[in-house]
Structure 1
Amino acid sequence: MNRRTMLVGAGALVVAAGAGVAGWRSAVGSMAQYEAFTARLHGQLTTDLEAVVRYATLAANSHNTQPWRFRLEGQAIEIRPDFRRRTPIVDPDDHHLYVSLGCAAANLALAAAATGRPGEASLTADGDGVRYDYVMGAPKVDPLVDAISKRQSTRAEYDGRAVPAADLVEVERTAAIPGVGLALVTDRTRMIKVRDTVLAGNEDQMNDPAFVRELKQWIRFNPRSAMARGDGLFSAASGNPVLPTGLGRIAFDRLFNVAQENQNYARQIDSSAGVAIFFGERPDHDHWIRVGQACQRFALAATGLGLKIAFINQPIEVARLRADLAAIVGETRRPDLVMRFGYGPILPFSPRRPVASVIG
């Protein structure tokens, strides 16, 4: 859910590598093909269960690992963790993994109700996933459903415009979930403090070789790789150039550095209208899932209002900074997610795996 950008001198690297145009296109693939690929993923919601699951998988998730599996059992759908897709360095206690399940559960409930399957989501009996039990009934279309296929984490600079107070009230109301607190920060004094904790966390992470190695494993440097894998952090989705995989890894090693990344994050946060910080009542699977549901509903409501969002979770992931972040909004509970929001550009969507690969 929290991602990094990478600015690379693509032109100079291409010349150095001696890559021809035909070889380049063969290595990276076509953005037109990629856009057709994501258009199918984000296509219209139909009434079959596979389409409901497809809409669930469009939820936000950490590193775009998509750490979930769906089980279809009678008139119930379960979302279970896929621990093969853990990120143990950035997420050692699987906090982000369970938040990701909650994000998917929010989408699932909306999509299922819209296709005539109203029901209730609850924690599974073993406390390790989400179960959605439904009955067949009349479709219940929530305005948030339309936003599912449009929501994206937009890792770019925004235009700095303030969000109308009524819209802030609406996103806060939509995100209200029992057991989850939400603090909205829109004044510049506190936003600067949030920014400083993000930069401190980013520096800690980028000075950790294990973190950098793990992050690099999930970067997809070109459309071909993103479509083939169906997961990970696609460079173009952050507004960065596409490169052949081998060249992208070289560029990452040589040009990915603390100073540049901190400058990027500072500009992005300073250009945002505000920051949302989510707090679960307790640090357990149940409340992490609830935080994910609240976060996803916030993001969908924001999308419906023309806003963009992006995660800036470094002070969540670096444990020593959690209390500092919480203190900015007068909290003592562990903060679970940090998200900036504002008005910004449309970027390419992140990839998703085929529905068939996540069911079973």
Structure 2
Amino acid sequence: MRLAKRGKGEPPPASGDVPTIESLPDGLLQHILGFMDARQAVRTCVLARRWRHLWQSATSLRFLGLKLAKVRAFMEHLLLLRTGSPLDTFELWFDAFRDSDGPRVNLWVRTCDFSSCESLEHLDIVKCLLPCVRNISSKTLKFLSIRNCRFNQDQRIRTIIYAPSLVSLRLDDHRCVDEYFYRAPVLDSMPLLQNAFFRLIHGTADSCTRADSGNCGHDDCNSCYGVEDDNRSVLLEGLSEAENLSLIAESKTFIFKRDLKQCPTFSKLKTLLLNDYWCVAPDFHELNSILKHSPVLERLTLHLFSKGPKHKLRIRGSWNPAEISAAISDHLKIVEVKCEVINNGVVKLLKFISTFNIRFSLDEVEILEQ
């Protein structure tokens, strides 16, 4: 009788016809371990010799419901012993977190570099300090959400987001209550982008108390002159391939206005939502500029002089075929304005939009439910 050798990583033959977990290949077992909390996955090393090192190559790494102080040493040893094994999922949830823990967690995230996550498609970062994250880079990432986070602590440096396969992007600091001066990230080319939401309403280094243009004339202003090569497009160029786009900012934020000086063409944009930041009388320059560069825009929504989402009034306008004018877009058929009250500023805006073959009727103003 001749016995064949079992290859490395090859499961032992199952006894009888009943399949067992031992009959599964290593790759499948590593995938299964990825659904477990990392501490539980490591404990499987005592099951048998075959299991001794399987956890080191688990395809996902999860720490759920932690008190960070209890797992610091464990986490650092774990990342060291994994020796850079690729990840499909990396998930951290803490029950308690202090500002002093930030540098340590940032180091962990840098060790799990997103560019080495060869199958990464979804990335959701919530309420995190990202002062040492210079780049978010992934060729496979499709869905990215960064909410209530604070970027690079060095006001002279911007974080670069490189995700050429991205189809959905959400950057939102709506609930970021701390005053923390950071630069908005640079958005690299995103040719497959479909949906994008960008809200920047808290104090950042891209705002200036002296001027809202980004050029206050004071050489010592770190906001206006604090970043090298700041003539490049920061946000709008990266968002220019989106099909559906929402842009919300405060009046003192100048980064969008700076980008508009070299405004890209939004060649695929069909629906657009803007707040009153873009609707400044008398010439409505910002609104006019972005509309001129949106040749296939079909629907425009404006949120004016109210915080929302509980606006009080809605005014709808539609394309008027009876009039002929130099319309910015031949496709623009619907404009919706939400506001608190119809004041002089709203009336001026409606008159401006009416020049694009859009007809409004104040007799049909809708009162929204509160």
TM-score range, shorter chain: under 0.3
Q: Max radius of gyration: which structure?
A: 2
Q: Looking at secondary structure, tell me which structure has more helix per residue.
A: 1
Q: Looking at secondary structure, tell me which structure has more strand per residue.
A: 2
Of structures 1 and 2, the one scoring higher in RCO (CA 8 A, sep 6+) is 1
With normalisation by structure 1, the TM-score equals: 0.22
With normalisation by structure 2, the TM-score equals: 0.22
